[in-house]
Structure 1
Amino acid sequence: MRKSLLAMAALMGVATLPAHAWRVKVDEQTFANIGFSTMIRGTYEGKRKTNEKSRANFKVQLFNITASGQVNKLVYFGMNLEGTRAIKDKYCDEIEDGEPKCTERTSEPFGVRVRDAFIGLKFADELRVQAGLQRVPFSRASLTSTYALLVPTSYAGQGLGPGVNPLNVQTNIDVSPRDAGVVVWGNVAEGMLKYYLAVTDGATIGSSTDDSLAYTLRLQFTPTMLGFKPETGYTVSDTYLGKQNVLSIGAGYRVVGRNGRDTKMWTVDALYEQKFGDIVPNLQVGYISVKDANGTSDLDLSHIYAQGQLLYDQVVGFGKPALAVKFEQNKRKASGTDPKNTRVGVWAHYYIKGQAAKVSLGVDSVNLNSAAKANVSGGGKNFTDVTLQFQVQF
């Protein structure tokens, strides 16, 4: 069964398909794999504003029900439902005086929203077409599941001022890296080269605004002639936990029409992971640049990161220990101000059964420059968080 599920992962592009999903089988060609995933998190949060106090919070960080399968060898499908909770966040849509205009919104408590829903046609390994709501094939960050991140609290520019984090503008300053449309993608030369071509709505999810379409191109190269295994699925992962040696180099470009002006984004990234005996080192770097964010002239954003992990690939007690670190920096340049925040995270992971059962303990330290502190209502502060997280996938 595990081989068939891994084959399905390659077909569907699900990087973290659980090894024990429930399979509903109609016949040899028609089946679906049903999965369940969740994250439970407790965090001691440092003071983020001058008038705030430190606090401890417990929450269900993520809750997902997934289905993936095929109707026949040509037609496949995928679906991801995510539980929602009553949380407040910022939604930035219109531009006012050269700045994104943000309003606070509250999600529906105890609801469910569709995160992914698509239908695909696999004509060949080199040519597949997916239509629906799916991840934007722009950067490694946008193609990586939260369940497969080395530092699950990373890419966290939200709350540090509108537009600081360029990941928020992949669908126009929305925190979701999803967009609705059509993606043509495939693997050439048995995965040595992977390509994506996407035409999507480009409108912020949850917004009634309907602007120009978004166009995305991503290329990813793996030197398979050196013995490295390609990442042939639609999505990717921060780590493969020593199950395959990976060296992937990617580049992406995205244009989104907004407010009568194009927002242009480009990125470069690379992942290296190789098993040496019982030790599995991992290194990933990336850079994202956004020009005229949200269709605003001279509102430019950038994000740079470097991260790594050392995994001891032997069971100690009842799991495999690993240590991960990450550095990331978000910058914004507009109207003579340059907000910048820098985050350093150190996380210890205990992989009880890979990503399917994992306990993580991490410390994140965030530093804001004076412009970023002034960009936070009430006055921002440097802060440090300590997080304990449990993760399960089935």
Structure 2
Amino acid sequence: MKIWYKNLDKRAKSPADGSWHQNVFDVGEVELKFEGQVTPLFQFYAELPTNGADGNTTIDEAAINLAFAKEFQVLAGEIRKSFTRAQLSSSYSYLTPQGYWLDPQKALKTIRTPWDPKKNNQDSGLMVHGDLLDGMFRYRVGVYNEHRDTGGKFWDGTGWANVGQTPNTKANDLKNFEWNARIEFTPTMLGFKPESAATITSKVADTYLGAKDVLTIGLGYHTATHTPKARILGNDVGDLKRKGWTVDAMFEKKFGNVVPNLQIGYISLDKTHFYRNFTTGTVKKGDTDVWYVTGQLLFDQCVWLGKPAIAFRYENITGDGQWTDGTILKKDLTAETFGLAFNYYIKGQAARISVGFDHTKYDDALKHYLKAGNKEDSITDWYLYLQSKF
């Protein structure tokens, strides 16, 4: 269960567009989760969240896992995508509770995430996964539904537009597959414990709160065709065949009563969108780079009711794109976010209170685009967050 109070910064400069702070109480999520097994081979799990005060219940994840051995298992259903660590991490373990890839102005659109934003971290598919050499190496290789659509895939300098002649055309949707593959390494010979991939869900956590010393280095690969062949500004521009790779590392080790946690990651994606090049007058295929660093310092002793910690997060998202007013030309669609959270773990992640803020600043072409639309390019949101698991 996730309960929020948020003090939201103003999003625009005029009253008609929202030039005031907002105070919002919200039930962010109430989730029913269960897992079990019919036999040691035939396992299952499901997560059914009710999101927001509207009470809409969805199937977040639901799958059957065939556990042939720790070295080889098959997971099928609505499952996590096996590309980045972020996609495999449980949101109940986030160091800063608002999570990854913040975009309060919704200005990044299709370049914000390296996966289908409608599906968040997961989709229907099949993944083989397992641990090798007692967990020193882990692997996850998954094949998923491949979604092709034209909605909001073209940056024309004034915002995101649909491509093709009909909005949200889905020609050749689900024609092929999306592929995601990930391998991880832990130097177990140095005393670090592996984050097993041979589990029912095959998920990981952003922190283990000092329960074990962890050092994980991960590499991932992704490929998918995510638009049909398109026609923009009278020209046939083909489709977008997105390919990407990522490298990341996670370190957490207990030193006496102090548990430092540090994570860093980089994601490179090509052909994430189309954009208009005002220098040449052509439509080009754009790439996106994402990198982040996050961490936490936990005091592993009770102070009054729980264990205090301070966490931070910095992330930078940059995609190809241009903006011009006819006089000046700005390149790159850039957003960077810094967040700080004071976490208080009363009973681990089962009873947690967090207070913090996230500051997002848009730069380069995105900054000028927002200013031209009378919108804020620098936003700071504060929050109080209560979390419970039972």
TM-score range, shorter chain: 0.7 to 0.9
Q: Does 1:55 align with 2:55?
A: no
1:341-352 to 2 correspondence within 5 Å? Answer: 341-352=335-346
| CA gap 1:162/1:369 in 2 versus in 1, 3 angstroms | closer
**Match for 2:3: what amino acid?**
I
- Trace 1:222-241 onto structure 2 (pairs within 5 A): 222-233=186-197, 234-241=202-209
Report 1:166-205 matches (<5 A): 166=111, 168-171=113-116, 173-174=117-118, 176-203=120-147
Q: What amino acid is the match of 1:387? A: Y
Once residues 303 and 339 of structure 1 are traced to their aligned partners in structure 2, the CA distance between those partners, rounded to angstroms, is 12
* Alignment match, 2:95: 150
Counterparts of 2:148 and 2:96 in 1: how far apart (Å)? 26
- Cα distance 1:186–1:329, how it changes in 2: closer, same or farther (>3 A)? same
CA distance 1:197–1:332, change in 2 (3 Å)? same
Instruction: Quote the offset at 1:188 in angstroms.
Output: 0.2
> Percent of pairs identical after alignment?
35
Q: 1:210 aligns with which of 163, 174, 177?
A: 174
Counterparts of 1:102-181 in structure 2 under 5 Å? Answer: 109-163=54-108, 166=111, 168-171=113-116, 173-174=117-118, 176-181=120-125
TM-score (norm 2): 0.81
| Rg larger in structure | 2
- The AA in structure 2 aligned to 1:269 is D
Counterpart selection for 1:257 from 194, 200, 225: 225
Deviates more, 1:270-279 or 1:291-300: 291-300
Conserved 8 A contact 2:102-2:337: no
Name the CA shift for 1:374/1:175 in 2 (closer, same or farther; >3 Å). farther
Report the CA distance between 1:380 and its aligned residue.
Answer: 3.2
In structure 2, C-alpha distance between the alignment counterparts of 1:176 and 1:140, rounded to whole Å: 14
Distance 1:301 1:157 in 2: 15
Match in the other structure for 1:30? none
Q: Is contact 2:221–2:245 with CA below 8 Å preserved after alignment? A: yes
For the aligned residue pairs, the C-alpha RMSD in angstroms reads 2.2
* Residue in structure 1 matched with residue 306 of structure 2 by the alignment: 319
* 8 Å CA contact retained: 1:160, 1:375: no
Q: Which residue of 1 aligns with 2:326?
A: none
Aligned residue for 1:114, secondary structure, equals coil
- Name the counterpart of 1:245: 213
Q: Gapped runs of 5+ residues in structure 1?
A: 1-37, 87-108
Contact persistence 1:164–1:330 (CA under 8 A): no
Q: Distance in 1 between matches of 2:176 and 2:321?
A: 23
Query: Across the two proteins, how many residue pairs are aligned to each other?
Result: 334
Distance in 1, matches of 2:248 and 2:65, equals 27
Deviation at 1:54, TM superposition (A): 1.2
1:46-101: CA deviations, max 9, x gaps?
12222221111111112211111111010101101111347xxxxxxxxxxxxxxx
Q: Distance in 2 between matches of 1:211 and 1:148?
A: 35
Offset at residue 175 of structure 1 (A): 5.8
In the TM superposition, what is the alpha-carbon distance from 1:161 to its structure 2 partner? Answer: 4.2
Question: For residues 85 and 358 of structure 1, do their structure 2 counterparts lie closer, same or farther at Cα, with a shift above 3 Å needed?
Answer: closer
Which residue does the alignment assign to 2:9?
46
Equivalent of 1:279 in 251, 255, 258: 258
Give me the whole-angstrom Cα distance separating, in 2, the residues matched to 1:42 and 1:277: 34
Mapped contact 1:166–1:289 kept (Cα < 8 A) = no
CA contact (8 A) 1:76 1:119 kept: yes
Instruction: Tell me if 1:329 matches 2:316.
Output: yes
Contact 2:43–2:66 (Cα < 8 Å) also in 1: yes
Residue in structure 2 matching 1:380, options 376, 379, 384: 376
What is the SS of the residue equivalent to 1:325? strand
Alpha-carbon distance between aligned partners in 1 of 2:301 and 2:148, rounded to the nearest angstrom: 44
Partner of 1:364: 358
1:64 to 31, 34, 38: 31
Q: Is 1:301 aligned to residue 288 of structure 2?
A: yes
Q: Whole-Å Cα distance in 2 between the matches of residues 191 and 265 of structure 1?
A: 26
**Structure-2 separation of matches of 1:391 and 1:231:** 23
Provide Cα deviations, 1:148-185, integer angstroms capped at 9, x if missing partner.
Answer: 100112324344345467553312x4361111111001
Question: C-alpha distance in 1, partners of 2:335/2:108?
Answer: 12
**Residues 298-331 of structure 1, C-alpha deviation per residue, up to 9 Å, x if partnerless?**
2211211111111000011010000111111111
Q: Provide the residue aligned with 1:19 in structure 2.
A: none
Please tell me the residue identity of whatever aligns with 1:242. G
Query: What is the TM-score normalised by the length of structure 1?
Result: 0.80
Kept in 2: contact 1:158–1:165 (CA 8 A): no
